[in-house]
Every structure is written in C-alpha cells, then in structure tokens.
Chains A and B, each alone.
Chain A
C-alpha cells in the first residue's frame, strides 16, 4: 500500500491511499497514517486507488477518526470502488466516516 499526503487549501489534509488495504498495509503504513490524520484537522481520504479493504483497515480508520474527532477534527472519504463501498456499508461506516463520490463534495463536507 502507498500513502501520499498533500495539504490543500483551508488547512485540509488530503491522504491518498493506493493498493490493498489489509493487515500487511496496516503494519506498513498504519503508524504514518495515524500520525498524519489525528492532529484535529479536516482530513480527506482519497480511496480511489484502493482495491481491497479488510476489517483491520476499517479498524484503523475508525480508531484514527475518533482520535481526530476528539481534537475537533473531521475525517471523510471519497472515491470508494462499488465493491468496497458495499463492505463499508455492511460495516456501518457511513454513519461514522462520511463517504462521498468525489473530491469537491468531500472537501466541502470537511470545511462545512
């Protein structure tokens, strides 16, 4: 799994994830991901390049979203593949980390 961080206007942090988001990915990028998304800022996760998401990845997303929210931040995601979207829906993620189709909608939600 690859992780890229970009700062976009309004102090929003954009995290671009690419690849298979499973236990090995959590081991590889989990610490870096946690450090980047838990400072209380607005965080947009781009998952357009993610082709698989296991429950351990969902665990990491929820843990970090909670840590970020505790500092006043908000995390959203966008661009999930329909198969991943289905598993996220089954896992009840939509109520916890809002999911959007595209980048403008995700950024607007964070800045709202």
Chain B
C-alpha cells in the first residue's frame, strides 16, 4: 500500500513535505542515509515544480506524491498540474572549477540525478508524472 501526500503548489507547503518524509522514514525504518536522500530528492523535485510551474494559468495548482517501499528500493511518483516540464531533458550540470566561474543555479536536478538510480518523466495530457527510485540501504 502506498503512502500518499497531496499539497498545494506553494513554497509554504514544503514543510508539510519534510514532515511527511520524516514520518515515512520512521515508519519504514529507513537508514539515516536513505532518509536524507529521500528528503533531499523530494525537496528538490517539489521546489523545482513550484519554481518552474507557476505560469500555467490554472487557478489551483497541486502536487501529489506516492511513496512505495520495496524490499531493497524506495520508489516515488510525483504528479503535478503545472505546465509541462521534463527535468530529465535538462542539460547535465558541470561543476565549475572556481568561484569566479560559478553560477548559483542548476544544482537541484543535478542532485536528483546523482541521488537516484532511476528517473523517468512523462506527461499524460493532464499532468506531469515523475518517477524516481533508489536503493533503500
């Protein structure tokens, strides 16, 4: 059975997300490393949706998350009704060599890529659907 969270697509909802992740980690006996990874990946993904999906013209924007814990994996499905945005199509982030060349943006999707084994995006005509998974150890 999946654990599910539905939130409004607003920055002030991020604390609901982190509270939910904390409860999941305890209930599913996640290791500290897996709990941190889950928290970081979901925070980055949801922040990205809120930041980049704000011009879809819809009155009510929502995000839903479903958590599945397998024997050795954690899988999450994130759905939102913001404008179509495929994070998997974004160019790879290249870490700069020095502060002068550094740009502040681009690390959110990079962190998601680095902290997951599987990242798949599709749009079903109504909403964005992002599936993420990683080892639970």
Task: List A residues at the B interface (Cβ < 8 Å).
Answer: 20, 22-24, 27, 52, 54-56, 58-60, 62-63, 65-66, 69, 83, 87, 90-92, 95-97
What number of A-B contacts does a CB cutoff of 8 Å give? 73
Within the complex, which residue of B12, B43, B102 is in contact with A54, where a contact is CB–CB below 8 Å? Answer: B43
Task: List B residues at the A interface (Cβ < 8 Å).
Answer: 11-12, 14-15, 18, 32-33, 36, 39-40, 43-44, 47, 95-100, 102-105, 107-108, 110-111, 114-115
Q: Supply 7 further A-B pairs (C-beta < 8 A) apart from A22-B18, A55-B47, A63-B104.
A: A23-B47, A24-B11, A24-B15, A60-B104, A90-B110, A91-B111, A95-B98
Main secondary structure of the interface of A (DSSP, over half): helix
- Whether B102 pairs with A62 at a CB distance below 8 angstroms is yes
> For residue A54, which residue of chain B has the nearest CB?
B43
> For residue B114, which residue of chain A has the nearest CB?
A90
Residues of A within 8 A of B14 (CB): 22-24
B98 to chain A, nearest CB (A): 6
- Whether A96 pairs with B47 at a CB distance below 8 angstroms is no
- Whether B96 pairs with A95 at a CB distance below 8 angstroms is yes
- Whether A55 pairs with B99 at a CB distance below 8 angstroms is no
Q: Can you list 15 A-B pairs, Cβ within 8 angstroms, ordered by A?
A: A20-B18, A23-B47, A24-B12, A55-B110, A58-B107, A60-B104, A62-B99, A62-B104, A66-B102, A87-B111, A90-B114, A90-B115, A91-B110, A92-B96, A95-B97
A90 to chain B, nearest CB (A): 5
C-alpha spacing A42/B116, complex, angstroms: 37
Residues of B within 8 A of A96 (CB): 96, 98-99, 102
B91 to chain A, nearest CB (A): 15
C-alpha spacing A54/B18, complex, angstroms: 12
Greatest chain B CB density within 10 A among A54, A59, A66 is at A54
> For residue B48, which residue of chain A has the nearest CB?
A55
> For residue A92, which residue of chain B has the nearest CB?
B95
Q: Take A22-B43, A90-B111, A91-B107 as given contacts and tell me if A83 and B32 are in contact as well, using a CB distance cutoff of 8 Å.
A: yes
Residues of A within 8 A of B15 (CB): 24
Residues of B within 8 A of A59 (CB): 104-105, 107
C-alpha spacing A52/B32, complex, angstroms: 12
A72 to chain B, nearest CB (A): 13
